[in-house]
Chains A and B, each alone.
Chain A
């Protein structure tokens, strides 16, 4: 399977160097190749499922619990202002 590394890098908002592109293309190719092996398994008559365990309806009652303080919530943000995370200006 062909990997479009430029497309993937764009979707992931990653700026890759030419060397990285070669390196990651190969790594991703290996992973995809490994997954491709699954195609060899005969799944005729097997119902598609997203989960292997037959567990349904894992639900919680709507009872609020305390969350993080603003200080904790923003602890990992390199830049912050007015209790908010600051990122480079983005307008879609």
Chain B
């Protein structure tokens, strides 16, 4: 029997705000333990929560990015449980009236090869709701130590329908969410800092069945690669258990990404009983059309829309970028904006050259010098100028590499570097060039015959000798033109 997997993901994303969700003490990562608390965070008697407007703005933006319906009215509830990471003994969350409903996450599956774009599909969302994070427990010998700095940080939970079918789809889904959220400036989604966390609900069923199998919740998928590996591991485990005649039990399993194994967390005797009820301290939130429109105006273009635009023909307002370039630029909003600035300045027909410089050279130089794009000395205008020099034939590609290295190192303009280093290609109209071309033609009778017979590539046979004579500085465009003119006259 063949089985298919049914996967739903719960993705928690910390919202990047300056203060906490329900109180104004600062939020942050990496601060000394228990320095980001106040009476509300610690649930001291009499403390009352007041909502952070920036966090509500941020989740509405996330909802709009992911095509959710924004509820006209939503409210907050208390999710009751006793655990020391939550000083109140309840977490403020949203139960039956979340702020974002439905939605779709567009994903791109891996193609058959790195340079071939894979299939796109839409993964339906159930909801996104706004809640607060809990404190961090450090389990040690003789006790657990609690740091409440994280407690009360705005947290949104993005819940997918059980609509994912493979570990690859789950991976693509998580990447797509991360890219959209980072694009919109809602969170940095750094998994190492716990800004993005993922739990997966996984079941299997015989292909063709519509009934859902018993689900297992997989926790601690704390890197994007572990999400893929952990889900693949769990699907394989469930199929193996089922094929051996065993039964999948509903449980929570902990995935160890380093070891590539999972183990059952002490299975709970009974289902969670959170006894949700409306939080009497927090008033509902109404989001009207004006509020939504104001935030929609601040949203960036959706990443896959931008990718389609970059790959579209220039006649359709695009840059005719191949997938290999677009797929490197798009996940980084800043980098793709940088590309677009440079491509616009470079002009028609030169976007791919700009893309190549960024993907092949700029990224390598930045990595080598441990520089980020924001502080790079090279500017989009300078790259556009460099591409222009090469396109005009005044600078040869191999000299351009040298110029580019200097641009990155010093920020000097390409034309200035070319002049200073004497890298300009030889003038195009010299009699000397024509002499080199004639000499080369005279020495290559075979290539002449081939070219005359219609073999375009035969032209290259003449060029080596010309470049050698020119010490590598001949303008290839001029060489090409001169050769064609002389050959036509033969």
Contact = CB atoms under 8 A, between A and B. Distances in A.
B26 A67 contact: yes
Interface residues of B, number: 54
B273 A11 contact: yes
Interface string A60-86: 111111111110011000010111111
Given A83-B34, A89-B139, A57 B286 contact: yes
A9 to B, nearest CB: 11
A37 interface: no
Nearest to B54: A62
Contact of A62 (B32, B55, B286): B55
Interface string B382-412: 0000000000000000000000000000000
A84 B144 CA distance: 9
B134 to A, nearest CB: 12
Interface stretch (A18-26, A28-36, A38-46, A48-56): A48-56
Contact of B146 (A57, A63, A84, A91): A84
Interface in B258-300: 265-266, 270, 273, 275, 278, 280, 282-286
B37 interface: yes
Nearest to B51: A59
A60 B52 contact: yes
A90 B266 CA distance: 12
B33 A82 contact: yes
Among B34, B84, B138, B143, the one with the most A-chain Cβ atoms within 10 Å of its Cβ is B34
A2 interface: no
B32 A83 contact: yes
A67 B37 contact: yes
B278 A87 contact: no
Interface stretch (B38-46, B163-171, B316-324, B364-372): B38-46
Interface in B103-148: 137-140, 142-148
Contact of A68 (B39, B54, B144, B266): B39
A62 B52 contact: yes
B143 A79 contact: yes
Interface residues of A, number: 38
B143 A60 contact: no
B285 A56 contact: yes
B340 to A, nearest CB: 30
Contact of B148 (A55, A58, A73, A88): A73
A79 B265 CA distance: 28
A63 B145 contact: no
B265 A68 contact: no
Contacts of B148: 73, 85
Interface of B: 17-19, 24-27, 32-39, 41-42, 50-56, 73, 75, 80-84, 137-140, 142-148, 265-266, 270, 273, 275, 278, 280, 282-286
A-B interface, 10 closest residue pairs, ranked by CB to CB distance from nearest: A50-B278, A67-B25, A62-B54, A84-B145, A67-B38, A59-B53, A64-B26, A64-B19, A83-B33, A85-B146
13 contacts: A50-B280, A51-B283, A57-B286, A60-B24, A60-B50, A63-B18, A64-B18, A64-B25, A65-B24, A67-B37, A70-B35, A89-B144, A92-B265
